[in-house]
Amino acid sequence: MVRALHGWDAHNVTEDADLGLRLALAGYTVGDLPSPTFEEAPARLGPWLGQRTRWLKGLVQTSLTHGRRPLANARSLGGLETLCAAALVPGTVASALAYPVCLAGAAWSFLVLDIPAAPVFLDNLSTGLAITLFGTGLAALVLPALVGCARRGWGDLAQSVPWMPVYFLLVSLAAWLALIELVRAPLRWNKTRHGLARTSRSGRRRRRAAPATACDTGRDPGGGECASA
C-alpha cells in the first residue's frame, strides 16, 4: 500500500501527518485504535519543547506540500473531509500561533475594560458571542484533560488541569520556533529520547507490579550476577 502511494515526503519531520493525508487522498479511511498508549512524554521542558517544535514544523511542511493543489485535493477528499484536514493540519499551527494574541485580547477585554450592557438584545449580541466563545474555548482546553484523568484514575493530575491555558502558551512558543526552524534549518530533526521509565507513570506501575528480585533488594545471591547485569 505504501509503495502504491509512492512513499512519503522523506524531508517531512512529522511523517505520519504527511502519510495520513496521502492515504486520505488515495481514498483510504484513516482512523485510530481505541486503545491506550504507554509512550512516555518528555518530563523536562527542553526535550518537550524540541518535540513539539518538530511536530508543528512537520505540520507546516505537510500544509505546504499538499497545499500546492488545493482545489484538486478538495475534490479528492470531499467537503467535510477537506474542512477536517484544514482544521487538523494547518489549523493546529495557525491556532497555536494566534493563541497568545487572542488570550491577551480576551484578558484585556474581560478583566480590564468594562463590559457594556445595552437595553436592546441585538446590541448585546456581539459581546454575548465573545463571552460564549471564550467560555467554550476554555472548556475545550480543560474538560478533555479532566475526562482523561478521571478515566485513567489519575486524580492527582487533576490539580494541574487549571494550568492548561499556560501549557498552550508553551505550545504557541513551539509553533513560533517551528516557523523559525523551518526557515533556518528545515531538515533538522529534534530527536526525542525514549525509554526513560522512571519519568513515566506506566513505568512506575510496571515496577510496582513486578516482583522484587534479590538484585532489586540489594542482596547479591553470589557469583556476581547483579554486578554483571
Instruction: Give the pLDDT confidence of 107-150 residue by residue, as tens digits.
Output: 888 888 787 777 877 778 888 888 898 899 899 999 999 998 99
- DSSP structure string for 81-96: HHHHHHHHTHHHHHHH
In a domain, 2, yes or no: no
Nearest to 61, CA basis, from 21, 104, 1: 21
In a domain, 229, yes or no: no
Query: What phi-psi label fits residue 159: left (phi over 0), alpha (psi between -120 and 50 degrees) or beta?
Result: alpha
In a domain, 200, yes or no: no
Q: How many helices (H) and strands (E) does the chain have?
A: 9, 0
In a domain, 77, yes or no: yes
pLDDT score, position 101? 94
In a domain, 145, yes or no: yes
Residue 33 has pLDDT above 70, yes or no: yes
Look at the chain and report how many structural domains it folds into: 1
Phi, psi of 16 (to 5 degrees): -70, -30
d(CA 87, CA 184): 26
pLDDT cut 90: percent of the chain above it: 43
pLDDT score, position 117? 75
The better pLDDT of the pair 85, 41 is held by 85
| Cα dist from 211 to 24, 144, 181, 206, whole Å | 46, 35, 47, 10
In a domain, 193, yes or no: no
Banded model confidence at residue 83, pLDDT cuts 50, 70, 90? very high
In a domain, 128, yes or no: yes
Range with the poorest average pLDDT among 11-15, 82-86, 114-118, 172-176: 114-118
Q: What is the pTM of this model?
A: 0.78
Residue 6 has pLDDT above 60, yes or no: yes
Query: What confidence tens digit (pLDDT) does each residue in 182-223 have?
Result: 999 988 888 887 766 555 555 555 545 545 444 444 444 444
Which residues form the domain of 142?
15-30+40-188
In a domain, 118, yes or no: yes
